[in-house]
Structure 1
Amino acid sequence: MLALFDRDMREGARPDGPGARIERVDGVVRQVGSEKGWSGVVWSDLDEAGADAAVAEQIRYFAGLGRDFEWKLYGHDLPVDLGQRLRAAGFTAAPEETLMVAEVAGLTLDVEPPEGVRILPVTDRAGVDMVADVHEKAFGTDSSRMRHQLLAHLTADPDTVVAVVALAGDEPVSAARMELVPGTRFAGLWGGGTVEEWRGRGVYRALVAHRARVAADRGYRYVQVDALARSRPILARLGFEPLTTTTPYEYTVGHLAAA
């Protein structure tokens, strides 16, 4: 399963939205996003002898574009000390996540939201604003980039993204999206967040099941999540299995100028 995921979603990566492109060079697969999009390394095939040079080359490349970027490191990537090498080169590690995957046919999908909560498909700017507002409340982070990317994605290629928001009455309390990459077997579940006062009531679980049903209807065999610690037990109860860890290593191009 892990080899299949690497082949479909990393080595064979496709752009994740409008204005993005995938480049393959010297054992590295990277995405160059739009000005407000995500840029980073999604896959690498490196050894101890060439790893430091490859890392330095990616820094030079993205600095030349003026882009902050991320090196998405998985627990089975080589060399085994690649994380240490990234930190030594100026990257900062974000919290570790767990790659969890499930075959749609084996999931528990007969999950409904709690009483008084309804799930609304997001198709326009007003819906995107609700998703972004929930994201900021749930995670305490700025959502301007996500807001721009999601609206651009829904506008330019709506068949490859599904976004939903859970409403308690008229109040947005949870939101999430799913990315559907044509030609792959995996649908990616992203951005699932619930405001604090609504956690533990089954809203997040209902959004996972809702998106998985859509993935099944569209012919995807697997769904995958990069899960934080608080999401792992919920996903495990639905039928997801952990495959490996993944850690975002983030680089701000200002580090190069400061050096």
Structure 2
Amino acid sequence: MVDAATLLAAYDAQLRSDAETPGALAVEPLGPVRIATFAEGRGFVSYRSLDDDGAPADADRVRALVAAVAQHLRDDAAITEAEWKTRAHDDAPGLYEALVQHGFEAEEPESIMIGDAHLLAVDVPLPDGVTLRRITAEADVRAMAAMCDEVFGEPRSDRHAEDLLRRQAHDPSMEMWVAEAGGEIVSAGRLEPVPGTEFAGIWGGATRPEWRGRGIYRALTAARARSALALGKRYLQSDSTEFSRPILERSGLVKVSETTPYVWRRERSAP
């Protein structure tokens, strides 16, 4: 079994690059960071390290960098909301304080989970009447998005479905899987192979409350793991909530760090 340090090193080397921003309309470098712009005014800030041209990150450099990014966001009218993706293992003195100072708000931290796909590609029995399948049809994608929005307490809208359909058109390798019972979607999740890497991401896991604890999410994860292996991927990666983290740990994934999104929104940003 691969140790956590090796998994984290592979994550930093392979995933903290253009692999993080497939489908971006534009990506602009600003010092050591990359600012990506997506459809519907969404921005994304990431980096492999905050060191700049060999100069190690210190609190003054970090504050100046955050100020420059915040100014960039304010100046770019196309961006209405942006996420700065922080990782707990980074050397970034003063980062969190600087982000808050410049109008970013922390959301709930998530566990960065990584593991060998073989560990998850196992047979998991399903409850009677429950079946799994990969979906591609627009009606199925819209039904899946509506179920996920409901489970996560999001207001009813077409935004999630439109985003998935747009991403599917851009990247047909993205797979959407659902579990159904009685013609109703009861659980769902995506597999997103990362080109040029050993990784595939497992994202968007959601199960209706009345169907939880019956192995359905594990079965969906196993199906995605088998598909990842068939595509030649070695590792699965997920940013997991405290609900899904224990399930993935039982399957053999390892928590290698934490990530906390800091979100900037134009309507509430400080001048």
Q: TM-score, normalised to structure 1's length?
A: 0.91
Q: CA deviation at 1:140?
A: 0.4
Q: Does 1:151 align with 2:157?
A: no
Structure 1 SS opposite 2:233: coil
Instruction: Indicate if the aligned counterparts of 2:193 and 2:201 stay in contact, CA closer than 8 A.
Output: yes
**What residue in structure 2 maps to residue 63 of structure 1?**
74
Structure 1 SS opposite 2:39: coil
Instruction: Indicate if the aligned counterparts of 1:98 and 1:228 stay in contact, CA closer than 8 A.
Output: yes
Letter in 1 for 2:167: H
Q: CA deviation at 1:25?
A: 2.8
Mapped partners of 1:245, 1:132: distance in 2: 26
Task: Indicate which of 14, 25, 30 corresponds to 1:8.
Answer: 14
RMSD: 1.8
Instruction: Indicate if the aligned counterparts of 1:15 and 1:21 stay in contact, CA closer than 8 A.
Output: no
Q: CA deviation at 1:26?
A: 0.2
Q: Which runs of 5+ in 1 are unaligned?
A: none
Deviations 1:82-112 (A, max 9, x none): 1222122211111110000001133352224
Mapped partners of 2:16, 2:27: distance in 1: 11
Instruction: Indicate if the aligned counterparts of 2:194 and 2:200 stay in contact, CA closer than 8 A.
Output: yes
Task: Indicate which of 8, 21, 24 corresponds to 2:29.
Answer: 24
Q: How many residues align?
A: 255
**Change in 2 beyond 3 A, CA 1:234/1:9:** same
Matches of residues 46-195 of structure 1 in structure 2 within 5 Å? 46=50, 47=57, 48-66=59-77, 67=79, 68-142=81-155, 144-159=158-173, 161-195=174-208
Deviations 1:181-236 (A, max 9, x none): 21011101111011111111111111111111111000011000101011111101
Task: Indicate which of 43, 48, 68 corresponds to 2:47.
Answer: 43
Structure 1 SS opposite 2:142: helix
Structure 2 SS opposite 1:50: helix
Q: Which runs of 5+ in 2 are unaligned?
A: 1-6, 51-56
**What residue in structure 2 maps to residue 229 of structure 1?**
242
Structure 2 SS opposite 1:13: helix
Q: CA deviation at 1:32?
A: 1.5
Q: CA deviation at 1:144?
A: 3.8
Instruction: Indicate if the aligned counterparts of 1:14 and 1:22 stay in contact, CA closer than 8 A.
Output: no
Query: Please, which moves more after superposition, 72-81 or 242-251?
Result: 72-81
Instruction: Indicate if the aligned counterparts of 1:69 and 1:250 stay in contact, CA closer than 8 A.
Output: yes
Q: Does 1:33 align with 2:38?
A: yes
Mapped partners of 1:34, 1:50: distance in 2: 30
Structure 1 SS opposite 2:46: strand
Deviations 1:137-187 (A, max 9, x none): 21001464332221012223212x000111111011111112112101110
**What residue in structure 2 maps to residue 248 of structure 1?**
261
**Change in 2 beyond 3 A, CA 1:112/1:63:** farther
Instruction: Indicate if the aligned counterparts of 2:44 and 2:83 stay in contact, CA closer than 8 A.
Output: yes
Structure 2 SS opposite 1:45: coil
Q: CA deviation at 1:44?
A: 5.0
